[in-house]
Structure 1
C-alpha cells in the first residue's frame, strides 16, 4: 500500500469511551519538547487543556492530572510508545483513557504492536492539525467545545 493511500488517522478500538465535559484534557507524550509544545499550543487554541511530558514524566503527571485522551509518540528513547501505552494501561485510573499513536511511522508499522499495547487510534504526524483535533474530539466524546 502506498503512503498516499494510508488514511491520515483511524480509530482501531471498538471500545466506547466515557463522555467528558469541556475542556477536553489532552496529554501530549513526546520526547521532542519543541514539537510537544507546538502541539500544545495548537490544541490550546482549539479549546483543549493540555499537558506535555516525555515517556518518563507522563506517569507522574497522570497521578496529579487526569487526561481525557493521550497523544503518544511511538519513537522515543528510554521507553517507546508501545511500552508507555502498556504501562499506562496497568494504571487503574488510565485503563479507559483513549490513546492515540501520533507518529511518523506508517499505520501498518504501528498496528500490529499497537492494538495489543492498548492503543486505540492512529494519526500520522505532519497531517493537518484539524485531522488530529477531529480525532481527539471523537475519542473524548461529550458536549462539543463550542456549544
Structure 2
C-alpha cells in the first residue's frame, strides 16, 4: 500500500467536467500505465517524460493536478515544481510528488518548491486517485 500525505490546504476547482491531470515521470512505462489508469478513473490524464516537456505541455493545455516524479535527469521534480508554480497557467495547480523516496526525504524540500502532497510509488494507484479527488472539486 502506498503511503500518501497532503501537505497544504490547496484545492482546485477543475474547469471541465473531470479533473485534468498531468503525469510527469522519466519512467515511460510507469508514467504511461498510470496515465491510462487515471483516464479509466474519469480523469483527463496526459503523460510527459520530463520537466521540460511538462512546461511545453502547459503552454497549450492546463492541468488541474500535476503528478510529478522527483528523481528525473536534467531537471528533477523540485526544480520542475518551482518553475511550474511560477508559470501563470499552473501557479494554482495541485502538485503532488510521486516518488519511491520516503515522505520525510521529500517534504522538507518539497513544500518550499511548491508541492502540495506526496504519494509513494509501489502500491496501487487507489491512494493517488483518492488524493486527487480530495484536492479537486467541481
Q: Which residue of 2 aligns with 1:145?
A: none
Q: Which residue of 2 aligns with 1:107?
A: 103
TM-score by length of structure 2 reads: 0.93
The reply to whether residue 10 of structure 1 matches residue 8 of structure 2 is: no
TM-score by length of structure 1 reads: 0.88
Provide structure 2 residue ranges, at least 5 long, that are not aligned to the other structure: none
Deviates more, 1:105-114 or 1:126-135: 126-135
Provide structure 1 residue ranges, at least 5 long, that are not aligned to the other structure: 143-147
Higher gyration radius (CA): 1
- Aligned equivalents of 2:134 and 2:123: distance in 1? 17
The reply to whether residue 132 of structure 1 matches residue 132 of structure 2 is: no
Indicate the structure with greater strand content: 2
Q: Which residue of 1 aligns with 2:116?
A: 120
How much does 1:129 deviate?
1.2
How much does 1:126 deviate?
1.2
